[in-house]
Chains A and B, each alone.
Chain A
Amino acid sequence: MDDRAKYRIKQLSIFSENRPGRLMDIARDMKEAQVNILGFTIAEGSGYGVVRMLVDKPEKAYEKLTSEGHVVKFTDVLAVKMEDKPGGLYDLTVMLKEAGINIEYAYGYRNHPSAVLILKVEEVDRAIDCILASGRTLYDTSHFK
C-alpha cells in the first residue's frame, strides 16, 4: 500500500439546508451513533451550508448520516502538526506557495501542546511529500481514532 495513504484523513462533508435545527439533527445523529467530533467547520453558501467534520469513526458516522437522509461525501484532507508559536502558519504557507500547491480551504484547531491545521488541496500526494520533506509532521488516520 502506498505509504502516503495513511495521511489522507477522511473528512465528512455534509450538504445542509440553511434552516433552524439542521445542525442539531447532525449533532443528534453523531450522539446517537456514539461518534466523537474532533474537528468541525461550516462553509456557508447562499441558502445552504457545507458542514465539514473530522470524527473518530468516519464510516459509522457516514452510515448514520446517510441513513437519516443526509447527503454526505468523504473528502481527503491533510492534518499538519503545527508548532504552537507565532509564525508557524506563515512558514508552512511559504513552503506550499514555493511548491506551487494551492490551498482550497483550511481550518485549524488547537491541540495542546501543539496545534493542527486541516488542509484541503487538490494534489494531495504531492502536498504530503512536500510537507514531510520539509521536516514537518502529518498526523495519520490513527491520530483520529
Chain B
Amino acid sequence: MAAWNPKMEFMPREELERLQSKLLKALVHRMYDYSPFYRERMDAAKVHPDQIRTSKDVVKLPFMYKKDLRELEPERLFLASNRELVRYHASSGTTGHPTIVGYTQNDVNNWTESVARALASAGIGQDDILQVAYTYGLFTGGLGLHYGAERLGCTVVPASTGNSERQLDMIKRLGVTAIACTPSYLMHLGEVAEKKGIDFKRDTKLRLGILGAEPWSEGMRERMREWLGVKGINIYGTSELSGPLWCECAEQKGMHVWSDQTLIEIIDPDTGEQLGPGEKGELVVTMLLKEAVPIVRYRTGDISTIDVEGCPCGRDHPRLGRITGRVDDMFIIRGINVFPSQVEYVLMSNPELGNEFQIVVDRRGALDEMLVRVELKPESFQDNVAKLESLKTRIHERLKNVLSVSAEVELLEPGSLPRFEGKAKRVIDKRKIQ
C-alpha cells in the first residue's frame, strides 16, 4: 500500500494551498467567535478574522506558547464541552504540572488519519505486524500509533514499554515486521537480543522502526541498519498538537506534514519573523482542524527546517527536517522531557548546595545518561564521607521523583563550574546528533 488516502496525499500543491487558506479562515472565525481566550489574544494583536484571507496571512496571528497550555484552566482553553470530549492526554510539565490536552471524536479521528497516512508513506501496510512499544496511557505515543496502525489495517501488538525479553519473544514468535519505540530502546533491544544469542537479522522479520520521542542521529540510523537490519523511520509529534503525527516516507527526505490538517512555519526565535524554506529556525504549528484545544501558531521550541520541493514519492505536502535542537534548554532523555528549571528546583531546595550546576547528557551504549554536577557550599562540607554520600543519595532520589528519570549526581568544589554573565549554559549534550 503506497498511500492511505491517495486523494489527499497526492493533492497538487496549488490545491493544497487553496484548501489551507479556506481552513485557516474558518478556524480563525470559529475561534474568534467561540474562544474568549483567542478573541482577547487577537484583539490585543489588533487582528480581526476578516484580515485572514489566505494561508500566508497566518503571520498576522499572535503566537501561542507552551505556558498558555500549561497555565490556563482547561475550561478557558478548551473549545469543547465535557460531552464532546472523548479523551484526555497529558505531558510532563516543568514543575510537575502537566499540560492537559482534550480530544473530541473528530480530533481523535484526524490524529488517527494523520498517523495512518504517515505509516503508509513509510511503507507499512496490511501485511505488516507493528509492535507498539511506546507507553500506553496519558503519554500520546502508545495510543496514537496504535489507532493509526489499526486504521491502516496492519496488525498491532500493543506491547507498551518495558520487559525487553517479552518484547523480543513477541517479535520472534509473531513475526513482527515493524516496531514503534524510541530509537534508544530499539538499540537496547538489540543488546538484550545479542546477550540471549538472538540475531535480529537472522531470527526476526523486523525490518522497520518508527522511531521518535527523542533526538537521534543519522549515525545511529546507519548503525541500526547494519547491526539489526532495521530501517529507522523518524516520527514527530507532541502531545500539545495531538501526539505522534508525521513520519518520513520511504524516501526518507523529511517528514510529510499534511497540509489539509496542519500549517507549519519556521521562524527566527528571537525576532519572530518567518523564515524561508531550508532556513533553520523554530517550528511553529497551526492545527487547522483541531476542535477541543485549538492550536494556532504554537511555538514548539524545536529547531528544524522546512522543505517545500516536491518529494520523489509524489507528495507535495511540505517536509519537516530532522529536529536539531531546542530554543529553550529543554532536552529529552529516554523519551522524557527534562527542563533545567526542574533540576534547579530540586537542587535549590537543598541548603547544602551552591547556585551553580551543570547537566551533562551523554549516551553510553544505547541508553541516554544524565549527570547532574553541583557545587557544595563551603560551610556544608564536613569531614564525614557517609554524610556527604547520604546528601548525594537524597538529591538523586529527589531528582528521580521530580524528573521521572534517573540522574547521577556529582558533588563539586565551590567555584569549579563555569560562571556566566548572560544566560547560563546549563546543559552539555554530548550525544552525537546532527
Contact = CB atoms under 8 A, between A and B. Distances in A.
Contact of A45 (B389, B413, B414, B416): B389
A69 B354 CA distance: 14
Contacts of B416: 17
Contacts of B384: 104
Contact of A15 (B389, B392, B413): B413
Nearest to A74: B383
A46 B392 contact: yes
B90 interface: no
A28 interface: no
Interface stretch (B46-54, B173-181, B247-255, B374-382): B374-382
Nearest to B416: A17
A50 interface: yes
B2 interface: no
Interface in A14-55: 15-17, 43-48, 50, 52
Interface in B336-384: 376, 378, 381-384
Contacts of A110: none
Interface string A41-84: 00111111010100000000000000001110101000000000
B388 A45 contact: yes
Contacts of B411: 45, 47-48
Given A17-B416, A69-B415, A71-B376, A47 B410 contact: yes
A43 B106 CA distance: 64
Interface residues of A, number: 20
B375 to A, nearest CB: 10
Nearest to B373: A47
Nearest to A45: B385
Interface string B408-430: 00111111100000000000000
Contacts, number: 45
A15 B376 contact: yes
* A contact face: mostly helix, strand, loop, or mixed: strand
A75 B415 contact: no
A49 to B, nearest CB: 9
Contact of B383 (A13, A17, A47): A13
Given A15-B376, A46-B389, A69 B382 contact: no
Contact of A71 (B378, B385, B392): B378
Given A69-B415, A70-B413, A71-B413, A15 B381 contact: yes
Given A15-B376, A50-B383, A71 B389 contact: no
B383 A75 contact: yes
Contacts of B410: 47-48
B414 A69 contact: yes
Given A46-B392, A71-B376, A71-B378, A17 B385 contact: no
B96 to A, nearest CB: 27
Interface of A: 11, 13, 15-17, 43-48, 50, 52, 69-71, 73, 75, 104, 120
Given A15-B376, A46-B389, 12 more contacts: A13-B381, A43-B385, A45-B389, A45-B392, A47-B411, A50-B383, A50-B385, A69-B415, A70-B413, A71-B414, A104-B384, A120-B383
Among all A-B residue pairs, the 3 with the closest Cβ atoms: A13-B383, A75-B383, A15-B381
Interface of B: 376, 378, 381-385, 388-389, 392, 410-416
21 contacts: A11-B383, A13-B381, A15-B381, A16-B413, A17-B412, A17-B416, A45-B411, A46-B392, A48-B388, A48-B410, A48-B412, A50-B385, A52-B383, A69-B413, A69-B414, A69-B415, A70-B413, A71-B381, A71-B414, A73-B381, A104-B384
